[in-house]
Amino acid sequence: MCSYWLESRDLSEERLKEQVDELFAKVDTKLLKIFTSGSFFDDNEVPGYLRRYIVEKALERGVEKIIVESRPEFVSEEKLKDFDGIELEVGIGLETVNDFVRENCINKGFTFSDFTSAVEKIKAFGFRVKCYLLLKPPFLSEREAILDVVNSAKKVSRLVDVISINLTNVQKATVVEKLWERNLYRPPWLWSAVEAIKRIESEAEIICDPVAGGRIRGPHNCGKCDREVASALRLFSLTQDKSVLELDCDCKAVWRKTLEIEDFSRVPLL
Ligand SMILES: [Zn+2]
């Protein structure tokens, strides 16, 4: 479902360092989020000396917290030591606690225990962990997708600080796109995200930004209520107040029927 590989470019290390210098010349902030669309701790993506250079520059400029993302296998004590003196939050795309679903529906290539051992290392340094969960990978019905995300959140809520629920959207040149073109996949209903969040009892903060919400390739409802439901999800993310999710629309009945029938039909109803 991910088409980031289409955006990859081979950048020389010099060019990468120049980007960092350009960034620090422009930016004056306490909070720095470095979104590499990959793994910040992968030496092939960001060489070690450059990671240390970024921390050094950040400290110089008064940055208090850095947010990065990484696959779990690249997280090591040695690399975490480089962040001495600054707050760090590491986002990891676990997607689901279910190893079968992660391997067969998502093709992620690591296990839940790889994730927990990375989390342990990060927490041992007193740093924060954000866990990304994916709502509705291909091959799960709408109801199974909700159950999977609720169960996953329950299991990780004591391990991590933030749980970010990401709703699958249809990206270019992916298996999801091929399925979607043949009417074999529909992005999740926004009601499913609402339902999942209502059911999750979590010690961790829950956030959900429905990227491409209301669009045909993104998570959507009937078209009439999408904007309102997507805004409610964003408002919930800021406030953690579940009462903002008490919404209704005529299409809710269709969504409920979907939950019932897709388990058997295995293809989207509309
Ligand atoms: Zn609606």
- Per residue in 179-202, pLDDT tens? 999 999 999 999 999 999 999 999
pTM: 0.95
**C-alpha of residue 192 to centroid of ligand 1, in Å:** 12
**C-alpha of residue 214 to centroid of ligand 1, in Å:** 10
Longest dimension (CA), the chain: 59
**C-alpha of residue 152 to centroid of ligand 1, in Å:** 27
Rounded CA gap, 187 and 166, in Å? Answer: 11
**C-alpha of residue 121 to centroid of ligand 1, in Å:** 44
- Per residue in 88-114, pLDDT tens? 999 999 999 999 999 999 999 999 999
**C-alpha of residue 265 to centroid of ligand 1, in Å:** 22
- By CB atoms closer than 10 A (0-12, 13-18, 19+), residue 131 is buried
**C-alpha of residue 143 to centroid of ligand 1, in Å:** 18
Checking if the pLDDT of 118 tops 80, the result is yes
**C-alpha of residue 103 to centroid of ligand 1, in Å:** 33
Would you state the pLDDT for residue 3?
84
Would you state the pLDDT for residue 254?
96
* Owner of token pair 């429905």: 210
User: Token pair for residue 69?
Assistant: 């993302």
- Per residue in 31-67, pLDDT tens? 999 988 889 999 999 999 999 999 999 999 999 999 9
